[in-house]
Structure 1
Amino acid sequence: MKTEQEILAATAAYVEVLLSGEGSGHDWWHIYRVWNNAKMIAAQEQVNLYIVELAALLHDIGDHKFHNGDETVGPRMARDWLLKCNVGVEETAHVCSIIGELSFKGAGTSSEMKSPEGRVVQDADRLDAIGAIGIARAFAYGGHKGRELHNPSIKPVLHNSFGQYKSSTAPTLNHFYEKLLLLKGRMHTETARKLAEERHRYMEGFLKQFYAEWEGKI
């Protein structure tokens, strides 16, 4: 029987092979950063660190964005891996539940997490969606999907359902208003809220610069 640390090491190696070289901003290094964020946040919370680490490592192995919007792929892939590693039934169910609940579902919808472990992982993932890295990832994903950088005639939409949010093909800049600028106010933990403040300010500065350059003012 493998120890928890052996299972975590095997999981990290599995995910690294699976996602290395991915070009949309959902690669191994995204996982690595979220994993580190999650451990840092968890150190200040009363949570099961093993569950937090497994969920952070596996949270994007079957992202719905790359499987025609199918939200069941990620939890199913995670379950298959965890069962292969002989992780307990309850632990597997907990990790898969976190993965299934994690995604942002639109400005007008709720993305509540059922457990403190889930809240830690969601905060860790959301931190990687904002700030300098969040900006880089947004445009990497937009380019991957063939989206415009910005189109002033296409206004942001505060989606009222996950279906609307998933089907959006709007320019990348709209994503700041439809998701990224909202995340600071949707963090669960005090640690994440503090880190989000600086990252949020950086995005605001980026947008100010972007519009000034777009209009030829600087």
Structure 2
Amino acid sequence: MTTEARLTAVHDFARGKMRDDETGHGFDHIQRVVRLADHLLTAYPQADRLLTLTAAYLHDVIDEKLVADTQAASDEVRQFLTAQAFTADQQDTIFLIMDNMSFHKTLDGTAKPLPLEGQLVQDADRLDAIGAIGIARAIYFGGHFGERIYDPAVAPRTKMTHADYRDLGHETIINHFYEKLLTLKDLMNTDAAKALAEHRQRVMQDFLAEFKDEWQAKK
């Protein structure tokens, strides 16, 4: 089976799993992460393109915040990858990436080091969380879960555990920028991603400044 044939099958599998998502992690997000990862690959041709893009397509399919049974979801992905002739070593690399790329792993220090392929997927996923798209996704996600937009009396949390991070009852949409999104620029792995993150960071900073001026009726 060719690389492109396997990627087509992975594309279709991921679309079937994520197309109905209403949290900002739908298949449109998946496609952007794949495109960003493919773009970053041009600067790092030594990375395995099949493993990079497969992990990019599948990275949210077993995410704990999106699926009720992560073990069952993982088993289904394993079965799918086996059917598409991915070797055991390839599957292990894909799962290593998916299991260790999430932001919450940086909070409890449990993340295992990612191979270059994983660093590219992580960078692509983080790039889609910032900038204009990141602003839209943060509002969409917060609205889906009933978060308040903003409360000046509620300070952003500076130190969070995994449990704190998942506790949306103590977060506002605007605070999420300070608690996570504005930190992602400095967490990028690759120089190519760092360059793209600079502009997206400024977009968010400009938005927050404008938002707070309007909140206080200064404009």
**How high is the TM-score relative to the length of structure 2?**
0.91
**Superposition deviation, residue 165 in structure 1:** 1.4
Change (3 A) 1:11 1:105: same
Which amino acid counterpart does residue 103 of structure 2 have in structure 1? F
1:145: which partner in 2? 145
1:133: which partner in 2? 133
Counterparts of 1:115-130 in structure 2, within 5 Å, are: 115-130=115-130
1:159: which partner in 2? 159
Look up the SS of the partner of 2:65 in the other structure: helix
1:85: which partner in 2? 84
1:174-212 per-residue CA deviation (whole Å, 9 max, x = no partner) reads: 110110000000101111000000000000000000001
| Partners of 1:109 and 1:159 within 8 A in 2 | no
**Superposition deviation, residue 113 in structure 1:** 3.5
1:36: which partner in 2? 35
**Superposition deviation, residue 4 in structure 1:** 2.0
**Superposition deviation, residue 21 in structure 1:** 3.7
| Partners of 2:33 and 2:56 within 8 A in 1 | yes
Q: Aligned partners of 1:157 and 1:73: how far apart in 2?
A: 33
1:105: which partner in 2? 104
CA RMSD of superposed structures (Å): 1.9
Look up the SS of the partner of 1:22 in the other structure: coil
Q: Which runs of 4+ in 1 moved over 3 A?
A: 70-77, 106-113
Equivalent pairs counted in the alignment come to 216
**How high is the TM-score relative to the length of structure 1?**
0.92
2:206: which partner in 1? 205
Q: Aligned partners of 1:208 and 1:21: how far apart in 2?
A: 33
What stretches of structure 2 of length at least 5 have no aligned partner?
none
Look up the SS of the partner of 1:64 in the other structure: coil
2:184: which partner in 1? 183
Change (3 A) 1:106 1:201: farther
Change (3 A) 1:13 1:106: closer
Q: Aligned partners of 2:207 and 2:39: how far apart in 1?
A: 27
